[in-house]
């Protein structure tokens, strides 16, 4: 798989009078992991929604691999290689881990949810689901009902679901939320693993984690980009320290 590139130029998203994303321009280069940080309400999720097509722009452009996708639906962006995970888990609690992946894999391939058919009949779907199962380290739990998974394993399944569309650019909104301390190393390992061959934008509130895994940090404050750079540069940036890290520069 070749990692994709994603860029936005002067994008804006407004909710009534509030400019949740205000004139944001950035290039997300192939194969790099970008950590998106900023205080609560800074506009991180809204920026991600604007890139994935879940939020309507009031201005600006989004390009995927150089192609203007500003007016493409979420579905068409997904088919073009842009994947997205959500803060809120979208798994079917009563189904097993493998069934969840099979249903979603089927939906991606055939654009419908065949609840009336046993998805396991379809070899390609089953093989893809099993590949993803392995990629996110859940093979041993394949037949466990999803509702009995730990938070960490539910997050891994959620990430797995977003891998089924074979994204070359992946947007991850707090994939570690609710993951216990004891499972954090494994979750970080999973992020490192799925990054390979992909471009990733990650929203993560745990500063140690985000500084550890990111190639570049992008800082948002009040809908705008305040700074971007290597984790070392961002830690040392006086404006970031004053505005966000809570340290008067
Ligand atoms: N659907 C919406 N309707 C109205 N206002 C919204 C909507 N979604 C977000 N907002 C507002 O836009 C601003 C940015 O919200 P957003 O969720 O993008 O921030 P965030 O940086 O992701 O925050 P957090 O870290 O708390 O998740 C906030 O003031 C929020 O209240």
- DSSP labels, 217-236: EEEEETTEEEEEE-HHHHHH
Closest residue CA from atom 16 of ligand 1: 43
For residue 205, which atom of ligand 1 is closest to its CA?
25
In a domain, 40, yes or no: yes
Residue 186 has pLDDT above 90, yes or no: no
Give the count of domains, the chain.
1
pLDDT tens-digit profile of 101-152?
A: 988 887 777 655 555 555 555 778 888 999 999 999 999 999 999 999 988 8
Q: How far is the CA of 157 from the centre of ligand 1 (A)?
A: 25
Range from 81-95, 207-221, 226-240 carrying the lowest mean pLDDT: 81-95
CB count in 10 Å sphere of residue 121: 11
pLDDT tens-digit profile of 59-111?
A: 999 999 999 999 999 989 998 999 987 666 678 888 999 999 988 887 777 65
pTM, two decimals, is 0.89
For residue 220, which atom of ligand 1 is closest to its CA?
21
For residue 16, which atom of ligand 1 is closest to its CA?
4
> Strand pairing partners for 15?
18
In a domain, 1, yes or no: no
Tokens of 153: 């394993």
Query: For residue 137, how far is the Cα from the chain centroid?
Result: 18
Helix-helix angle 123-135:97-110, to 10 degrees: 120
In a domain, 69, yes or no: yes
Give the whole-angstrom CA distance, residue 122 versus residue 69.
Answer: 32
Whole-number pLDDT of residue 248: 44
In a domain, 123, yes or no: yes
The pocket around ligand 1, CB under 6 angstroms, is made up of 15, 18, 20, 38, 40-46
pLDDT tens-digit profile of 157-181?
A: 988 998 988 899 999 998 888 788 8
Q: How far is the CA of 224 from the centre of ligand 1 (A)?
A: 13
In a domain, 117, yes or no: yes
In a domain, 47, yes or no: yes
Q: What is the CATH number of the domain that holds 109?
A: 3.40.50.300
């Amino acid at each position: 798989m070749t990692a994709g590139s994603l860029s936005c130029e002067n994008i804006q998203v407004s909710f009534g009078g509030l400019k949740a994303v205000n004139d944001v321009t950035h290039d997300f280069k192939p194969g790099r992991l970008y950590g998106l940080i900023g205080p609560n309400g800074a506009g991180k999720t809204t920026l991600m929604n604007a890139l994935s097509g879940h939020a309507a722009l009031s201005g600006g452009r989004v390009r995927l691999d150089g192609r203007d996708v500003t007016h493409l639906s979420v579905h068409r962006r997904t088919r073009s290689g842009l994947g997205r995970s959500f803060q809120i888990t979208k798994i079917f609690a009563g189904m097993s881990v493998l069934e969840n992946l099979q249903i979603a894999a089927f939906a991606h391939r055939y654009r419908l949810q065949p609840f009336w058919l046993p998805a396991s009949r379809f070899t390609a779907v089953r093989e893809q689901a099993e590949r993803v199962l392995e990629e996110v380290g859940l093979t041993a739990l394949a037949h466990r009902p999803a509702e009995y998974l730990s938070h960490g394993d539910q997050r891994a399944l959620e990430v797995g679901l977003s891998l089924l569309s074979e994204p070359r650019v992946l947007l991850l909104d707090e994939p570690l939320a609710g993951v216990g301390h004891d499972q954090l190393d494994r979750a970080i390992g999973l992020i490192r693993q799925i990054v390979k061959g992909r471009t990733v934008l990650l929203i993560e509130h745990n500063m140690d984690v985000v500084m550890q895994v990111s190639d570049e940090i992008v800082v948002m404050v009040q809908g705008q980009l305040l700074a971007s750079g290597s984790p070392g540069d961002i830690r040392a940036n006086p404006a970031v320290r004053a505005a966000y890290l809570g340290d008067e520069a």
